[in-house]
Amino acid sequence: MPGIICIIDDERVKSLIDNMCSSIKHEPWYKIEKYIFQQFAVARVHLGIVNPEPQPIFNEDKSLCIFMDGEIFGYEKEKQDLESRHEFKINNDPEFCLHLYEEYGERLWNRLFIDTSCSLDKSG
């Protein structure tokens, strides 16, 4: 089953992330993207249908990146606001979420769910 996997602080990150990817890649057409830096590794195993662009996606100064599987709907107005302060190179849902996180931190969920009946604190 597709998913996102990560391992931190182990000298065997390369072999472990490869094994973890293999364990959830059940079909030959699944795509795998990995990012390994020192003792940190993250990977996405996916179908290549939703947000098929390679990940991770980095922000402008490469201080943040995102791996994401899934979709966000109805964010056009919020994205227009972000475009005045951020450069969108790929123009997909993960990049939108990355820039939204840069602006609002953990309060990004308030922005995503602002029009729902979720019981999140809407003060942000």
In this structure, are residues 24 and 2 in contact, taking their beta carbons and an 8 Å threshold?
A: yes
Sign of CA dihedral 12, 41, 51, 2: positive
Find where tokens 């390994």 sit: 36
56 token code pair = 């991770």
State how beta strands 31-37 and 3-8 pair. Answer: unpaired
pLDDT value of residue 64? 95
**pLDDT one digit per residue (tens) for the chain, 124 residues:** 789 999 998 789 999 999 999 999 999 999 999 999 999 999 999 999 999 999 999 999 999 999 999 899 888 888 999 999 999 999 999 999 999 999 999 998 888 876 544 433 444 4
pTM here? 0.83
Domain range annotation of the chain: 1-49, 50-124
First to last CA, the chain: 35
Contact 68, 54 (CB under 8 A): no
Rounded to whole angstroms, how far apart are CA atoms 110 and 124?
6
